Amino acid sequence: MTAAFSPTNQNLLATGSGNNTIKLWDVNTGELISTLSDHSWSVVAVAFSTDGETLISGSWDKTIKIWQIKTNKKVVSLKSYTESISSVAISSDGLLVASDSKDKTIKLWHQ
């Protein structure tokens, strides 16, 4: 499991879990806002862009997904690893996504 707070909305929490989904929660009310699903295996990493408009997710399915928070839609899916994703990060300007994998590689992706 993994979790990240939105940097622009202190009440918005994204969680990734073993059921292959990302859930967006309002931590004030405990309400489930949305469920994002496109991964085929456990979601093990999530990270928000600094403007809070984009969410990056990484999974044991060896893919990284980029999501638009306003629409809850997947923007792009990235795959080039031979093993599962371990972590994801996004640069402060939102232009670079970094990821690492159990195949012992780190990759940079330009948006």
Q: Domain 2-110 falls in which CATH fold? A: Methylamine Dehydrogenase; Chain H (2.130.10)
pLDDT tens-digit series, residues 34-78: 999 999 999 999 999 999 999 999 999 999 999 999 999 999 999
pLDDT tens-digit series, residues 82-109: 999 999 999 999 999 999 999 999 999 9
Q: How far apart are CA 68 and CA 82, in angstroms?
A: 26
Q: How far apart are CA 72 and CA 65, in angstroms?
A: 12
Q: Is 7 helix (H, G, I), strand (E, B) or coil?
A: coil
Q: Is 105 helix (H, G, I), strand (E, B) or coil?
A: coil
pTM here is 0.93
